[in-house]
Amino acid sequence: MRWIRSHRWLGVKGVYGFWPLQYRYFILSLQAGPLREADAHRLHRYYYEQSPYSYNDTTQRALKNLINTPIMLISEPDIQWWLSHRGYDYAFINVFDQAAMINELQQLGNKKAILVTTTDKGYRQPGHTRHPHSWSIADPARLTKWLLSQ
């Protein structure tokens, strides 16, 4: 919940555009005033209930539904870029959760769960602008081969 406490994520244009409607209403209410503890607990509970993975879920409730599902997560954890361009540290990017999720899935027996990390592949078009959270981090040939093998 560190990202809620900091409110830093509120300033990123469009960051809540893909969130469920309940999140968006919650975020807009935060912009109108300080975060109340009850609101933080409500958001945390909702996030936990909707998430496929939570490190704090010791029962692995949602994760167990993915034991037989092939999963490839692709990430470019360029922490220097995130620090200098967004002021984010590892708590704000999802690579820790991705690695933990894949690790737990593999420990539960999912042999088709993999995490692919890249370096210096994230660029957005037009203009070839550096951004590690871009589709360009996915190698089309490798991804296609993996998809066809599932």
Same domain, 124 and 73: yes
Statement: residue 16 has pLDDT above 50: no
Q: Are residues 71 and 96 in the same domain?
A: yes
Please tell me whether residues 67 and 113 are part of one structural domain.
yes
The residue among 10, 29, 50 that closes a domain is 50
Residue 26: exposed, middle, or buried by beta-carbon count in 10 A (0-12, 13-18, 19+)?
buried
Number of domain units in the chain: 2
What pLDDT is recorded for position 91?
78
Torsion of CA 100, 55, 51, 94, to 10 degrees: -50
- Mean of the per-residue pLDDT values for the chain? 80
Which pLDDT score, from 0 to 100, does residue 71 have?
Answer: 96
Same domain, 87 and 131: yes
- What is the CB neighbour count within 10 angstroms for residue 63? 19
The pLDDT value recorded for residue 29 is: 58
Close Cβ partners of 75 (under 8 Å, ≥ 6 residues apart): 94, 95, 98, 115, 116, 117, 118, 137
Tell me which of 11, 34, 50 is where a domain ends.
50
Q: What average pLDDT score do residues 14-30 get? A: 52
DSSP string, 74-102: EE---HHHHHHHH---TTTSSHHHHHHHH
In terms of residue numbers, what domain contains 16? 1-50
pLDDT in tens, 26-76: 555 555 556 566 666 777 677 777 778 887 788 888 888 899 999 999 999
Whether the per-residue pLDDT at 17 is higher than 50: the answer is no
Examine the domain organization and report whether 62 and 134 are in the same domain: yes
Are both 9 and 37 inside the same structural domain?
yes
pLDDT (tens digit, 9 = 90+) per residue, 66-98?
A: 999 999 999 999 999 999 998 888 877 888 889
pLDDT band at 113 (very low <50, low <70, confident <90, very high): very high
What pairing do the DSSP bridges indicate for beta strands 123-124 and 129-130?
antiparallel
- My answer on whether 126 and 69 are in the same domain is yes
- Is the same domain home to 90 and 126? yes
35, 50, 65 - which closes a domain: 50
3: which residues sit within 8 A by CB, 6+ positions away?
9, 91, 92
* pTM, 2 dp: 0.72
Helix-then-strand count for the chain, H and E: 6, 4
pLDDT of residue 3: 47
150 and 104, same structural domain?
A: yes
Contacts with 88 (C-beta within 8 Å, 6 or more apart), sequence order = 8, 82
